[in-house]
């Protein structure tokens, strides 16, 4: 259930921090991708190199001194599918409950719109203190999930409630939290460029790699959606995604028609035309070819919008030049949202790992996003769609 999930593990400054190294290992063994934040006090108990060796990525330790990012708290909050605080000290719990963002952990949590699992760890007296209990009640009211604490041995030879949940207990609770529920939103994604046969060897197509659509499918699965991906691409996909591979527009149309969905994100670059009479055998160059007669391919996006009970539909428009054609397309196609990008812009074309998009709504209003990785675009797009279909959160 954690295959393909991106888990941000925040380790705060208690003696139980040593258990978080094994927790990181267990998360990875369960299929998750793990990044780690260490508070300054956590580093008094366990070193950053331990987590670097386990996760393959150096932990984040500061809001200000990491050359990998100018805004680590927002980038990590956007990257994660779920955040785990283990161990969570009384000090960190108090900060988060009060909305104080004085370090990387608390700032990331304030910027996050993701599930958060908290594993408290402290002495019994601290856990039972009225202020800690108020803070726990506030976190639960804010939607944070808890695992533990439990009765057991504590620091200094004491015994009582306050023992942090063991790594396997945290992983088990996280799997429950991240499992796809029966009422999960059903997400249909199309991806890649279709290939329309000229003969068994040659085809009419485009340069789409499928990276954007695959990123959206992976992000949806990471958010607990039930995802079906209809794709022409061999780009990687998380284990939580059901994949149907196709080649032509007609095959994609038929595959899409078989999928019931609450949300449809039509990111595929479907060829607009196909040869009307493809050859059953390879055409010989020596025979010459005077012309190829083309005919329109089926409009897959229109077929989804025209359903008796249409899903929330997001279209894509890969254009060259201004956004005006995309605005007109959004209105003409009657989609809920349309994602436009100029494929001639450096870093925003086919096959890149980044994208600069403009979001167009039904009314033709536009929202220009900065250059982001396709993973970040996918995360922000899924957040936008979920907010649109469920404004109450």
Residue 367 backbone dihedrals phi, psi, to 5 degrees: -135, 110
Both tokens assigned to 177: 């939290």
Q: Catalytic site residues?
A: 206
User: Alpha helices, DSSP H only, in 269-365?
Assistant: 300-305, 324-333
* CA separation for the pair 343, 197 (Å, rounded): 24
CA distances in angstroms from 128 to 121, 131, 146, 158, listed in the order given: 12, 8, 16, 15
DSSP 28-62: HHTT-EEEEEE-TTGGGTS-HHHHHHHHSSPPB--
Nearest residue to 270 (alpha-carbon basis) of 328, 204, 331, 336: 204
Mode of pairing for the β-strands spanning 372-373 and 150-153? unpaired
* CA separation for the pair 363, 381 (Å, rounded): 18
In this structure, how many other beta carbons lie within 10 angstroms of the beta carbon of residue 49?
10
Mode of pairing for the β-strands spanning 203-204 and 196-197? antiparallel
Residues belonging to the chain:
393
**Are residues 66 and 91 in contact, defined by beta-carbon separation less than 8 angstroms?**
no
Rg of the chain over CA atoms, in angstroms? 25
């Amino acid at each position: 259930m954690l295959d393909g999930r991106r888990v941000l593990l925040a380790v705060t400054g208690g003696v139980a921090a040593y258990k978080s190294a094994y927790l990181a290992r267990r998360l990875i063994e369960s299929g998750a991708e793990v990044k780690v934040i260490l508070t300054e006090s956590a580093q008094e108990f366990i070193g950053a190199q331990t987590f670097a060796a386990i996760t393959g990525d150096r932990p984040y330790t500061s809001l200000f001194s990491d050359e990998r990012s100018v805004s680590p708290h927002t980038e990590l909050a956007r990257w994660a599918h779920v955040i785990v605080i283990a161990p969570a000290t009384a000090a960190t719990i108090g900060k988060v409950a009060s909305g104080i963002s004085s370090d990387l952990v608390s700032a990331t949590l304030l910027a996050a719109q993701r599930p958060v699992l908290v594993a408290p760890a402290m002495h019994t007296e601290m856990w039972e203190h009225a202020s800690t209990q108020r803070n726990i009640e506030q976190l639960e009211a804010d939607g944070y999930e808890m695992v533990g604490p439990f009765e057991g041995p504590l620091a200094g030879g004491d015994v009582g409630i306050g023992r942090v949940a063991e790594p396997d207990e945290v992983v088990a609770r996280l799997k429950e939290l991240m499992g796809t529920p029966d009422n999960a939103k059903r997400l249909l994604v199309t991806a890649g460029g279709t290939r329309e046969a000229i003969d068994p060897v040659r085809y009419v197509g485009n340069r789409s790699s499928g990276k954007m659509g695959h990123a959206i499918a992976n992000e949806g699965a990471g958010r607990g959606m039930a995802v079906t991906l209809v794709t022409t691409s061999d780009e990687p996909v998380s284990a939580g995604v059901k994949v149907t591979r196709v080649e032509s527009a007609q095959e994609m149309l038929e595959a899409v028609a078989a999928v019931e969905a609450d949300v449809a994100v039509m990111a595929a670059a479907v060829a607009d035309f196909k040869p009307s009479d493809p050859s059953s055998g390879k055409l010989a160059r020596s025979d010459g070819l005077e012309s190829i007669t083309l005919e329109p391919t089926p409009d897959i996006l229109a077929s989804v919008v025209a359903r008796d009970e249409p899903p929330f539909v997001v279209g894509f428009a890969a254009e060259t030049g201004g956004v005006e054609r995309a605005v007109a397309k959004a209105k003409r196609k009657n989609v809920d949202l349309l994602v436009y990008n100029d494929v001639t812009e450096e870093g925003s074309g086919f096959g890149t790992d980044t994208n600069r998009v403009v979001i167009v709504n039904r009314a033709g209003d536009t929202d220009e996003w900065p250059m982001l990785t396709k993973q970040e675009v996918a995360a922000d797009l899924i957040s936008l769609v979920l907010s649109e279909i469920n404004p109450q959160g």
